[in-house]
Chains A and B, each alone.
Chain A
Amino acid sequence: MQLWQVLIDNFPRFRDGFLVTCQLVGVSFVIALGVGLVIAGLRVQPLRSLKWVGAVYVEFFRNIPLLVLLFISFAGLRRAGINIGAFAAGTGALGLYTAAYVAETVRSGVFAVGRGQVEASLSIGFTYPQTLRRVVLPQAVRTVIPPLGNITIAMIKNSAIIGAVLAIAQDILKEARLINARTFQTNEVFFWAAIGYLILTVTATVAVRYLERRLVIRR
């Protein structure tokens, strides 16, 4: 079987590429969630100036192609004398880009949390930031788990752009291209590359289902 032979012959490269993609996705995910929550927080707290900071962030990162962000974060910064390396540039750009979508989604979840919840929290004696952190965001995040899952899956797929652009990020796609350049077994090679991404996206889907069952707020 051609198909299996390609996998077996090039297994170490496929495996390494897969692991690099896992790392790219993992780090980007942490950045996206962390920054996204902070930006969502800025957008829903009462101070106008901070609201504005959040809005500018979202509009900036949502309205620039990821590809351009990647060029800026890697080549652009390097030209400016700041070399953060391909991995940091890639995960930074993908994480910050995805964070804009996370922020918007969490914000919609925050607005779905009733005014009564905020008042109950304030009347216990919580400050606004505490109310956000302890009462509003936990509920908001729970209600937006399904859309956050979609964003995560999009992010996994977008991670391929890093390998397509940045010279030294040896992710699934990059390894597949290298193997292809050597073997010319294009269909087989990219079939296995696709399987690599599928493993990640299906895992994410299952994880989201699980979280949904565990955390969903019954009302």
Chain B
Amino acid sequence: MGAEGTGPNVAASNGHLVVLDKVTKSFGATTVLTEIDLAVSKGEAIVVAGPSGSGKSTMLRCINALETIDSGEIFFDGKAISAAGKGIYRLRAEIGMVFQQFNLFPHKSVLQNITLGPTEIRELSRKDAEDRARKLLERVGIPEKADAYPVDLSGGQQQRVAIARALAMEPKLMLFDEPTSALDPEMIREVLDVMRDLARSGMTMIVVTHEMGFAREVCDRLVFIDEGAIVEQGPPEEFFKSAQSERARDFVDKIIHH
């Protein structure tokens, strides 16, 4: 199931949207990712799991070039990210990212949060952008919050606005970095429901989460990372039942028994 030998051409022909090819990343003397190989097909939803500090966030951040990698290559839609140069900004617009801390713009209303990108980058008219934003708010279940400010929303609502903001750019790929970890338990469901619908609509998604119910129900594949390396990957159900490595079994035990 690995991504061995997937060069850019192979990536394109196999319908892979994202390919990580021996990606290595260090901060100073600490190597955080070691020769990561990973290929994600169009329309696939994968969950990335692993202990704290294993490099999950760093991997996501490398994919949309918030971090630069030391060696290897990342291909998005057949193009090498390191070769994008100034095009990196256009590329990022194709990749939506949802953060643990929501990171909504506090000085802008919900509607403005969602229309900012489309009007400035996609050069949509204000009206078209607002129509799109209202449809997205409908989709994430909070159409009545268009004129509210982030501070007026619950965490779950803020995260749904953040998802709508990312979707407004019509991305080809959505990255989620522990989108429910900062939420009170009663709000986790509403965010996961939105993500599940998104996955079912065919969006390609890479989701870092500890929500194993979500992984089981929604995701095609689970990728287990430990100490900066992919230890194993496969269908979530199989992973829970019969993880091969000891570290993965430990992880499953902890997740299930806590």
Within 8 A of B (CB), among A90-116: 114, 116
Within 8 A of A (CB), among B133-178: 149, 151, 162, 165-166, 169
- Known contacts A119-B66, A218-B151: does B103 contact A124 (CB below 8 Å)? no
| Interchain nearest-CB distance for B63 vs A (Å) | 11
Assess the B96–A126 pair: CB atoms within 8 A: no
Selected contact of B120 from candidates A119, A120, A134, A138, CB within 8 Å:
A134
Question: Complex: how many Å from CA A134 to CA B120?
Answer: 10
Nearest residue in B to A215 (C-beta to C-beta)? B107
Assess the A119–B103 pair: CB atoms within 8 A: yes
Nearest residue in B to A218 (C-beta to C-beta)? B151
Within 8 A of B (CB), among A50-66: none
- Contact residue range for chain B? 20 to 34
Q: Cβ of A73 < 8 Å from any Cβ of B?
A: no
The 8 A CB mask of B64-75 against A (1 = contact, 0 = none) is: 101000000000
Question: Complex: how many Å from CA A119 to CA B103?
Answer: 8
- Known contacts A116-B99, A219-B151: does B106 contact A123 (CB below 8 Å)? no
Selected contact of A123 from candidates B95, B107, B149, B151, CB within 8 Å:
B95
Residues of chain A within 8 A of B230, CB atoms compared: none
Residues of chain A within 8 A of B104, CB atoms compared: 120
Selected contact of A218 from candidates B95, B120, B121, B149, CB within 8 Å:
B149
Q: Cβ of B45 < 8 Å from any Cβ of A?
A: no
Question: Complex: how many Å from CA A127 to CA B95?
Answer: 14
- Contact residue range for chain A? 20 to 34
Residues of chain B within 8 A of A138, CB atoms compared: 107
Assess the B169–A124 pair: CB atoms within 8 A: yes
Selected contact of B103 from candidates A120, A127, A142, CB within 8 Å:
A120
Q: Could you name 22 residue pairs across A and B whose Cβ atoms are closer than 8 Å?
A: A116-B99, A116-B101, A117-B103, A117-B105, A119-B66, A119-B103, A120-B104, A120-B105, A122-B66, A123-B97, A124-B93, A124-B121, A125-B93, A126-B120, A126-B121, A134-B120, A139-B105, A139-B107, A142-B107, A215-B107, A217-B106, A217-B107
Q: Which residues in B have some Cβ–Cβ distance to A below 8 Å?
A: 64, 66, 89-90, 92-97, 99, 101, 103-107, 116-117, 120-121, 149, 151, 162, 165-166, 169
Q: Which residues in A have some Cβ–Cβ distance to B below 8 Å?
A: 114, 116-117, 119-127, 130, 134-135, 138-139, 142, 215, 217-219
Given contacts A119-B66, A125-B117, A215-B107, 11 further A-B contacts (CB under 8 A): A119-B97, A119-B103, A120-B104, A122-B89, A123-B66, A123-B96, A125-B93, A125-B94, A126-B89, A142-B107, A217-B106
